[in-house]
Protein backbone atom coordinates (compact mmCIF):
# COMPACT_ATOMS: atom_id res chain seq x y z
CA UNK A 1 0.00 0.00 0.00
CA UNK A 2 1.37 3.37 -0.99
CA UNK A 3 0.56 6.64 0.72
CA UNK A 4 -1.29 7.85 -2.39
CA UNK A 5 -4.15 5.37 -1.91
CA UNK A 6 -4.35 5.76 1.87
CA UNK A 7 -7.46 7.79 2.63
CA UNK A 8 -8.38 7.00 6.24
CA UNK A 9 -11.80 7.89 7.65
CA UNK A 10 -12.01 11.11 9.66
CA UNK A 11 -14.51 9.73 12.20
CA UNK A 12 -14.09 10.92 15.81
CA UNK A 13 -12.77 8.38 18.32
CA UNK A 14 -15.41 5.79 19.23
CA UNK A 15 -14.57 5.06 22.88
CA UNK A 16 -16.06 1.87 24.35
CA UNK A 17 -14.53 2.10 27.85
CA UNK A 18 -12.05 4.25 29.73
CA UNK A 19 -10.61 3.99 33.24
CA UNK A 20 -7.29 4.77 34.94
CA UNK A 21 -5.51 1.81 33.33
CA UNK A 22 -7.08 0.93 29.99
CA UNK A 23 -8.84 2.47 27.01
CA UNK A 24 -11.05 0.45 24.66
CA UNK A 25 -11.79 1.89 21.22
CA UNK A 26 -13.85 0.74 18.25
CA UNK A 27 -11.35 1.13 15.38
CA UNK A 28 -12.86 2.12 12.03
CA UNK A 29 -12.01 0.16 8.88
CA UNK A 30 -9.44 1.86 6.67
CA UNK A 31 -7.32 3.33 9.49
CA UNK A 32 -3.86 1.97 10.32
CA UNK A 33 -3.31 0.93 13.97
CA UNK A 34 0.25 2.32 13.90
CA UNK A 35 2.10 4.58 11.43
CA UNK A 36 3.19 3.10 8.11
CA UNK A 37 6.49 3.86 6.38
CA UNK A 38 6.41 7.27 4.74
CA UNK A 39 4.85 10.64 5.53
CA UNK A 40 1.55 9.84 3.85
CA UNK A 41 1.00 6.91 6.24
CA UNK A 42 1.51 8.82 9.50
CA UNK A 43 -2.18 9.16 10.37
CA UNK A 44 -3.17 6.17 12.51
CA UNK A 45 -5.25 5.18 15.51
CA UNK A 46 -2.46 5.32 18.11
CA UNK A 47 -1.51 8.87 17.02
CA UNK A 48 -5.12 10.03 17.19
CA UNK A 49 -5.55 8.43 20.60
CA UNK A 50 -2.34 9.93 21.99
CA UNK A 51 -3.57 13.39 20.96
CA UNK A 52 -6.43 12.92 23.43
CA UNK A 53 -4.76 10.48 25.87
CA UNK A 54 -1.03 11.35 25.94
CA UNK A 55 -0.07 8.33 28.10
CA UNK A 56 -1.73 5.75 25.80
CA UNK A 57 0.46 2.79 24.84
CA UNK A 58 0.06 0.13 22.15
CA UNK A 59 -0.80 -3.42 23.23
CA UNK A 60 -1.86 -5.15 19.99
CA UNK A 61 -2.91 -4.28 16.42
CA UNK A 62 -5.73 -4.76 13.98
CA UNK A 63 -5.16 -4.76 10.21
CA UNK A 64 -5.89 -1.47 8.45
CA UNK A 65 -9.04 -2.85 6.81
CA UNK A 66 -10.41 -4.55 9.95
CA UNK A 67 -12.71 -2.66 12.31
CA UNK A 68 -13.57 -3.35 15.92
CA UNK A 69 -12.42 -3.61 19.52
CA UNK A 70 -8.85 -2.56 20.37
CA UNK A 71 -7.41 -2.09 23.85
CA UNK A 72 -4.71 0.46 24.73
CA UNK A 73 -2.87 0.72 28.04
CA UNK A 74 -2.75 4.03 29.88
CA UNK A 75 0.16 3.04 32.16
CA UNK A 76 3.40 1.10 31.64
CA UNK A 77 2.35 -1.57 34.14
CA UNK A 78 -1.00 -2.04 32.38
CA UNK A 79 0.86 -2.42 29.06
CA UNK A 80 3.09 -5.14 30.56
CA UNK A 81 0.10 -6.93 32.11
CA UNK A 82 -1.94 -6.88 28.90
CA UNK A 83 1.06 -7.70 26.71
CA UNK A 84 1.65 -10.91 28.67
CA UNK A 85 -2.02 -11.89 28.32
CA UNK A 86 -1.81 -11.55 24.52
CA UNK A 87 1.54 -13.33 24.39
CA UNK A 88 0.28 -16.25 26.51
CA UNK A 89 -3.04 -16.38 24.61
CA UNK A 90 -5.08 -15.66 27.71
CA UNK A 91 -7.27 -13.19 25.82
CA UNK A 92 -10.34 -14.37 23.92
CA UNK A 93 -11.33 -12.62 20.70
CA UNK A 94 -14.41 -12.99 18.54
CA UNK A 95 -14.66 -11.70 14.98
CA UNK A 96 -17.57 -11.39 12.59
CA UNK A 97 -16.87 -11.95 8.89
CA UNK A 98 -18.90 -12.27 5.73
CA UNK A 99 -17.27 -14.73 3.35
CA UNK A 100 -17.82 -15.76 -0.26
CA UNK A 101 -19.88 -18.86 -0.95
CA UNK A 102 -22.10 -21.03 1.19
CA UNK A 103 -20.14 -22.67 3.99
CA UNK A 104 -21.03 -26.30 4.71
CA UNK A 105 -21.26 -27.55 8.28
CA UNK A 106 -22.13 -25.59 11.41
CA UNK A 107 -18.78 -25.40 13.19
CA UNK A 108 -15.17 -26.31 12.55
CA UNK A 109 -11.53 -25.74 13.36
CA UNK A 110 -8.75 -24.84 10.95
CA UNK A 111 -5.16 -25.95 11.67
CA UNK A 112 -2.93 -24.47 8.96
CA UNK A 113 0.58 -23.18 9.76
CA UNK A 114 1.45 -19.76 8.33
CA UNK A 115 4.46 -17.66 7.41
CA UNK A 116 5.09 -14.42 5.52
CA UNK A 117 5.08 -14.84 1.72
CA UNK A 118 8.45 -13.12 1.46
CA UNK A 119 8.49 -12.02 -2.23
CA UNK A 120 4.92 -10.71 -1.81
CA UNK A 121 5.06 -9.29 1.71
CA UNK A 122 3.06 -8.23 3.68
CA UNK A 123 1.02 -11.18 2.35
CA UNK A 124 1.10 -14.37 4.41
CA UNK A 125 0.51 -17.91 3.22
CA UNK A 126 0.04 -21.45 4.45
CA UNK A 127 3.39 -23.26 4.68
CA UNK A 128 3.72 -26.70 6.26
CA UNK A 129 7.53 -26.63 6.30
CA UNK A 130 8.31 -23.18 7.71
CA UNK A 131 4.96 -21.93 9.00
CA UNK A 132 4.10 -21.27 12.64
CA UNK A 133 1.10 -22.96 14.21
CA UNK A 134 -2.15 -21.14 13.45
CA UNK A 135 -5.57 -22.28 14.71
CA UNK A 136 -8.99 -20.76 14.03
CA UNK A 137 -12.34 -22.03 15.29
CA UNK A 138 -15.46 -21.01 13.38
CA UNK A 139 -19.23 -21.08 13.66
CA UNK A 140 -21.50 -20.57 10.68
CA UNK A 141 -24.25 -17.95 10.79
CA UNK A 142 -26.77 -16.92 8.16
CA UNK A 143 -26.30 -17.88 4.51
CA UNK A 144 -27.58 -15.22 2.13
CA UNK A 145 -27.14 -14.37 -1.58
CA UNK A 146 -24.19 -16.71 -2.07
CA UNK A 147 -22.30 -15.51 1.02
CA UNK A 148 -22.07 -16.68 4.64
CA UNK A 149 -21.88 -14.79 7.91
CA UNK A 150 -19.23 -16.34 10.15
CA UNK A 151 -18.20 -15.98 13.77
CA UNK A 152 -14.45 -16.59 14.04
CA UNK A 153 -12.45 -17.41 17.16
CA UNK A 154 -8.68 -17.19 16.60
CA UNK A 155 -6.76 -19.43 19.01
CA UNK A 156 -3.43 -18.02 17.83
CA UNK A 157 -2.53 -14.50 16.73
CA UNK A 158 -0.72 -14.76 13.40
CA UNK A 159 -0.67 -11.81 11.03
CA UNK A 160 -3.61 -12.04 8.56
CA UNK A 161 -4.58 -15.36 10.16
CA UNK A 162 -8.35 -15.16 9.68
CA UNK A 163 -7.97 -13.81 6.16
CA UNK A 164 -5.61 -16.59 5.05
CA UNK A 165 -7.57 -19.33 6.82
CA UNK A 166 -10.84 -18.28 5.20
CA UNK A 167 -9.16 -18.15 1.79
CA UNK A 168 -7.64 -21.60 2.34
CA UNK A 169 -11.08 -22.90 3.30
CA UNK A 170 -12.32 -21.74 -0.11
CA UNK A 171 -14.39 -18.91 1.36
CA UNK A 172 -12.34 -15.67 1.27
CA UNK A 173 -13.58 -12.69 3.26
CA UNK A 174 -15.60 -10.36 1.04
CA UNK A 175 -13.84 -7.11 0.17
CA UNK A 176 -10.40 -8.39 1.25
CA UNK A 177 -7.89 -6.46 -0.91
CA UNK A 178 -5.18 -9.13 -0.47
CA UNK A 179 -6.87 -12.51 -0.46
CA UNK A 180 -10.14 -12.08 -2.37
CA UNK A 181 -10.72 -11.48 -6.07
CA UNK A 182 -13.87 -9.41 -5.53
CA UNK A 183 -12.43 -6.67 -3.28
CA UNK A 184 -13.57 -3.83 -5.55
CA UNK A 185 -17.22 -4.87 -5.26
CA UNK A 186 -17.41 -3.99 -1.56
CA UNK A 187 -16.98 -0.69 0.29
CA UNK A 188 -14.70 -2.35 2.86
CA UNK A 189 -13.33 -5.69 4.02
CA UNK A 190 -16.10 -7.55 5.83
CA UNK A 191 -14.14 -8.39 8.98
CA UNK A 192 -14.87 -6.90 12.40
CA UNK A 193 -13.39 -7.60 15.84
CA UNK A 194 -16.63 -7.95 17.78
CA UNK A 195 -15.43 -8.74 21.29
CA UNK A 196 -12.33 -8.96 23.47
CA UNK A 197 -12.26 -10.82 26.78
CA UNK A 198 -9.29 -10.33 29.11
CA UNK A 199 -8.27 -9.79 32.72
CA UNK A 200 -8.24 -6.22 33.95
CA UNK A 201 -4.65 -5.18 34.75
CA UNK A 202 -5.85 -3.74 38.07
CA UNK A 203 -7.06 -6.67 40.17
CA UNK A 204 -7.23 -9.35 37.47
CA UNK A 205 -11.02 -9.48 37.13
CA UNK A 206 -12.30 -10.98 33.89
CA UNK A 207 -13.85 -8.29 31.68
CA UNK A 208 -15.33 -8.34 28.17
CA UNK A 209 -15.82 -5.45 25.76
CA UNK A 210 -17.89 -5.46 22.58
CA UNK A 211 -18.44 -3.36 19.46
CA UNK A 212 -21.41 -4.11 17.24
CA UNK A 213 -20.42 -4.93 13.65
CA UNK A 214 -21.36 -2.21 11.13
CA UNK A 215 -22.51 -4.82 8.58
Predicted local confidence at residue 20, as pLDDT: 98
Strands 191-199 and 67-73: parallel
List the domain boundaries for the chain: 3-210
Q: Tell me the H-state helices in the chain.
A: 45-52, 76-87, 161-168
Per-10-residue mean pLDDT of the chain, 215 residues long, equals 76 97 98 92 97 98 97 98 97 98 97 97 96 98 96 97 98 96 90 98 97 97
Q: Angle at CA 169, nearest 5°, toward 164 and 175? A: 55
The burial class, CB within 10 Å (0-12 / 13-18 / 19+), for 12 is exposed
Q: Angle at CA 155, nearest 5°, toward 135 and 177? A: 70
Q: Is 63 one of the annotated active-site residues of the chain?
A: yes
DSSP-based three-state secondary structure for 183: helix
Nearest to 151 by CA among 196, 114, 91, 192: 192
Predicted local confidence at residue 5, as pLDDT: 83
Q: Do residues 23 and 71 touch, judged by C-beta distance below 8 A?
A: yes
Q: Do residues 72 and 58 touch, judged by C-beta distance below 8 A?
A: yes
Predicted local confidence at residue 4, as pLDDT: 57
Predicted local confidence at residue 38, as pLDDT: 86
pTM comes to: 0.95
DSSP-based three-state secondary structure for 109: strand
Chain centre distance of CA 48: 18
CATH fold for the domain made of 3-210: Pseudouridine synthase (3.30.2350)
Catalytic: which of 14, 63, 65, 117?
Answer: 63
Q: Do residues 27 and 11 touch, judged by C-beta distance below 8 A?
A: no
Amino acid sequence: MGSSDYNPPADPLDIIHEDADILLVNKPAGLLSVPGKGEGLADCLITRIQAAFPTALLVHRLDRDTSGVMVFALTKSAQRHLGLQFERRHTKKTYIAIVAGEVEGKTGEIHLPMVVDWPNRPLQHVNFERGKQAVTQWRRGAVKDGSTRMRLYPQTGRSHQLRVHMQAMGHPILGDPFYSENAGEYPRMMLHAESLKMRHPQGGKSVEFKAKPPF
